[in-house]
């Protein structure tokens, strides 16, 4: 497993999360009026999800098992090989759903859901990273 690549992906995820946290307004109403913040936050959530998928695929590739067919399946497979607990796997699969809407149907993005993700669910990615570190560096 390429440890340097994994560290770069994790650093990139953390930078995206920092960008989200630095630009999220204090209220949904302010967010609804701030098109720049909306663009920055949607872009960085999408990047965070993609980087998380890349990280999952890199880890899963070391198993010699069949490649997941979808992004969401990558997190399910990490659950199956005991890298992620079920609750983290489910949260990451939901994040893929948001990323898919953002990437393919940008006009259909719900600003309230986007705001909630940015305000209340960036910690899901931190928990994902913690689980990855626990898997890579198990405590004895």
CATH number at residue 125: 1.20.120.580
Tokens, residue 88: 């983290």
Rounded CA separation 103/55 (Å): 19
Rounded CA separation 120/125 (Å): 11
pLDDT at 106: 59
Cβ within 8 Å of residue 105, ≥6 positions away: none
Contact 111, 31 (CB under 8 A): yes
More confident call, 63 vs 1: 63
Residues making up the chain, counted from first to last: 140
Question: What totals of helices (H) and strands (E) does the chain contain, helices first?
Answer: 7, 0
CA distances from residue 54 to 48, 68, 74, 129 in whole angstroms, order as listed: 10, 12, 9, 13
Rounded CA separation 41/113 (Å): 12
**Residues 3-51: tens digit of each pLDDT:** 889 999 999 999 999 999 999 999 999 999 999 999 999 999 999 999 9
Backbone φ, ψ for residue 105 (5° rounding): -135, 55
Full-model pTM: 0.91
Count of domains observed in the chain? 1
Domain that holds residue 59: 3-136
Statement: residue 53 has pLDDT above 70: yes
pLDDT at 47: 96
Tokens, residue 92: 């990451």
Beta strands in the chain (DSSP E): none
**Residues 92-135: tens digit of each pLDDT:** 999 998 888 777 665 678 898 999 999 999 999 999 999 999 98
């Amino acid at each position: 497993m390429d440890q340097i690549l994994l560290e770069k992906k994790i650093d990139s995820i953390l930078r995206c999360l920092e960008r989200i946290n630095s630009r999220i307004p204090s209220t949904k109403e302010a967010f609804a009026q701030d098109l720049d913040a909306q663009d920055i936050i949607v872009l960085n959530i999408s990047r965070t999800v993609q980087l998380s998928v890349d990280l999952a695929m890199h880890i899963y590739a070391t198993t010699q098992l069949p490649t997941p067919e979808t992004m969401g399946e990558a997190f399910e497979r990490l659950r199956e090989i005991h890298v992620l607990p079920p609750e983290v796997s489910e949260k990451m699969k939901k994040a893929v759903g948001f990323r898919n809407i953002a990437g393919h149907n940008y006009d259909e993005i719900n600003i309230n859901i986007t705001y909630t993700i940015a305000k209340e669910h960036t910690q899901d990615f931190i928990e994902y990273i913690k689980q990855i570190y626990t898997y890579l560096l198990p405590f004895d």
